[in-house]
Structure 1
Amino acid sequence: MNRYLVMMFRRPHFDPAIVPLHQQFLEELRSQGRNEMSGPFGDKSGGAYLLHAESMDEARQIAHSDPAHTSGGWEITLYEWHAR
């Protein structure tokens, strides 16, 4: 599996009620062995997680099913990451 860095930034109209659903989504990924690590940025502007997937298409499909994305409250960008 490849690693993908999922960067998320809150939009001005984000709904704080979505945060627990997003956290649950990340926990489900962790239980599947797909979320290596995750966390918020210190300035509360958003956060990131390290996703394991077979391809960029699969990573995008997973990230776009995140409630943070489906709610429209976060801008999400993915990068294939070759971390060492």
Structure 2
Amino acid sequence: MTFMYLMNNQKPLNYEVIESHVEYLKELKSQGKLMLCGPFTDYPGGMVIFLAEDLNEATKIAEADPFIASGFKSYEIRTIQLANEENNYLL
């Protein structure tokens, strides 16, 4: 299943936590779970789109992100139903 966690800034970031977050994203990528991620340019936060078996695993993945685990960001999880050419954009 495809999930997204939306993050909201809670306190200013530092280099150490940013570096830990990047390493975490690299690990998700190496596991074939990371699909897309990045900060928002018009909102104080960012998102990570990823694959997980279920909501329980998705929650564990989000809560293990150093941004969230260290309290720098809060989060909300959403389940995404992908629309694409293969499924005729869910028509």
1:15 Cα deviation after fit? 3.1
The SS at the match of 1:64 is helix
Structure with more of its chain in helix, by fraction: 2
Aligned length: 82
In the other structure, the counterpart of 2:74 is 75
TM-score (norm 1): 0.89
Task: Give the gaps of 5 or more residues in structure 1.
Answer: none
TM-score (norm 2): 0.83
CA distance in structure 1 between the aligned counterparts of 2:6 and 2:48, rounded to whole angstroms: 7
The SS at the match of 2:64 is coil
CA distance in structure 2 between the aligned counterparts of 1:47 and 1:16, rounded to whole angstroms: 16
Q: How large is the RMSD of aligned CA atoms in angstroms?
A: 1.2
Residue type of the alignment partner of 1:14: P
1:43 Cα deviation after fit? 3.5
In the other structure, the counterpart of 2:38 is 39
The SS at the match of 2:12 is coil
In the other structure, the counterpart of 1:16 is 14
CA distance in structure 1 between the aligned counterparts of 2:43 and 2:81, rounded to whole angstroms: 26
1:14 Cα deviation after fit? 3.5
CA distance in structure 1 between the aligned counterparts of 2:19 and 2:46, rounded to whole angstroms: 14
* Residue deviations 1:45-84 (CA, integer Å, cap 9, x gap): 1111111000001000111011011111101110111121
Among the aligned pairs, what percent are the same residue? Answer: 29
Q: Which runs of 4+ in 1 moved over 4 A?
A: none
